[in-house]
């Protein structure tokens, strides 16, 4: 048996089978997020947040999520920035839906 060939082959096989994070590598099956995508997502999130605020129903965490997104942009963490912005957007969309629903639904709760 040629150990000079076998050991390197074994080592290469183990490395190939090991999960990326174990090796400290980022595993990404999609294209990396760009700065433009992250910044656009923040801009969109801010616009929806303003609509929720105009409806008098901004949620508590939305502002913090946007701050985290901006901080991530300043640290060039585009993926993190995108995720935070999308989370903020979804919160604001739900807040707007809630405000629209409550514009009439509140009457059902009035003590009579």
Partner 1 sequence: MLNTLKLWSLALWLMWPAYAVGGPEEDRIAFQAYFQARFPEVPLSDYVNGIYALDENARQQWEQIEEFPPYEFAVEEGQLLFDRPFGNGRTYGDCFDNQGIGVRQDYPRFDPVLGEVVTLELAINQCRQLNGEPPYDYESNELVSLSAYMAWTSRGKKINVVIPEDPRALAAYESGKQFYYSKRGQLNFACSDCHVTSAGLYVRADHLSASLGHPSHFPVYRSKLGRMISLHSRFYGCIRDVRARPFEEQSIEYRNLEYFLTYMSNGLIINGPGARK
Out of 61, 67, 75, 100, point to the residue binding partner 1 (CB under 8 A).
Answer: 61
Q: Which is nearer to partner 1, 79 or 98 (CB)?
A: 98
58 binds partner 1 per the rule CB under 8 A: yes
38 or 85: whose CB is closer to partner 1? 85
107 neighbors 69 (Cβ within 8 angstroms)? no
Task: Give dist(CA 26, CA 10) in Å, integer.
Answer: 23
Structure tokens at 53: 């605020």
Query: Token pair for residue 17?
Result: 């089978």
**Residue 15 in the binding site for partner 1 (CB under 8 A):** no
Q: At what angle do helices 78-105 and 35-54 cross, to 10 degrees?
A: 20
100 binds partner 1 (CB under 8 A): no
Residue 48 near residue 93, CB atoms below 8 Å: yes
Q: How far is the CB of 59 from partner 1 (least distance, A)?
A: 5
Q: Which residues lie near partner 1 (CB under 8 A)? A: 53, 56-63, 91, 94, 98-99, 102, 105-112
């Amino acid at each position: 048996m040629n150990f000079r060939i076998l050991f390197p082959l074994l080592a290469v096989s183990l490395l190939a089978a090991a999960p990326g994070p174990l090796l400290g590598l980022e595993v990404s099956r999609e294209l990396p997020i760009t700065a433009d995508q992250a910044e656009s997502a923040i801009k969109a999130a801010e616009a929806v947040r303003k609509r929720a605020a105009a409806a008098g129903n901004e949620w508590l965490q939305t502002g913090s999520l946007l701050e985290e997104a901006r901080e991530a942009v300043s640290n060039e963490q585009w993926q993190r920035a995108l995720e935070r912005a999308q989370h903020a957007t979804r919160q604001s969309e739900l807040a707007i839906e809630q405000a629209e629903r409550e514009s009439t639904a509140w009457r059902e709760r009035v003590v009579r």
